[in-house]
Amino acid sequence: DSGVTQTPKHLITATGQRVTLRCSPRSGDLSVYWYQQSLDQGLQFLIQYYNGEERAKGNILERFSAQQFPDLHSELNLSSLELGDSALYFCASSVGSPISLSYNEQFFGPGTRLTVL
Amino acid sequence: DQQVKQNSPSLSVQEGRISILNCDYTNSMFDYFLWYKKYPAEGPTFLISISSIKDKNEDGRFTVFLNKSAKHLSLHIVPSQPGDSAVYFCAAKTGTASKLTFGTGTRLQVTL
């Protein structure tokens, strides 16, 4: 158990809908990352938050947005869903710092499997 | 553009033998490399890493080798055990950025 929790574990929805994925980081971790893993693909970095502020952005679609709340949990919002959005969405957390010269290990949650029909 | 590539989707190795998982990268700005291990229905877990200033890092049965000139790294597992059966992801990062760039993974099966 990494200490990172994600809800829900599974989500099935229809095209055009909007969903919210939730992530609770490990106790004490300030950084939260979101990754998307499509079928047979590696994990693609979407976005990082550090202590409530957006820190880095990857190839995140405009239909997707995220935020980190004062209690440090994070939510990833996916709207106008398309079939191609079906994927595993992982959240990771790390102790983090705004800029780190060394690697702060990222601990991953179990993921949310999103299926868009 | 796949900056980190794992060209072998799967690998089968007998228990007790050596497992060698390979990874190639194209971005010369990568300066820190990691291997993650993933079991079904779980998130990836960190296994071992190596900085670009080194060419080898060892941790128990796991050794990572880095060949910067070839932009290639490999993970050696000796001896392989059935519990090592999992998907292994190679990942890389640049400088002070925290985001990781992952390969597509190699599924390792260790047989009895």
Question: Which pLDDT score, from 0 to 100, does residue B10 have?
Answer: 96
Q: What is the dihedral of CA B62, B66, B71, B74, to 10 degrees?
A: -20
Distance between CA atoms of residues B16 and B84, nearest Å: 11
Residue A97 is predicted with a pLDDT of 63
Distance CA A89, CA B11 (A): 25
Cβ atoms of B95 and B29 closer than 8 Å: yes
- Beta-strand relationship, B10-14 and B106-111: parallel
pLDDT at residue A52, rounded to an integer: 94
> Model confidence over A80-110: pLDDT tens digits?
999 999 999 999 999 866 555 556 789 999 9
pLDDT at A59: 85
- Amino acid B97: pLDDT: 79
The 10s digit of each residue's pLDDT in A35-54 is 999 987 889 999 999 999 99
Task: Determine whether the interchain pair B104/A2 forms a contact, defined as Cβ–Cβ distance below 8 Å.
Answer: no
> What's residue B99's pLDDT?
87
Contact B100 A42 (CB under 8 A): no
* Mean pLDDT score across all residues of chain A: 92
Parts of chain B with a pLDDT under 70: none
Q: What is the distance between the alpha carbons of residues B76 and B62, in angstroms, rounded to a whole number?
A: 6
Å between B9 CA and nearest CA of chain A? 9
B45 interface with A at CB cutoff 8 Å: yes
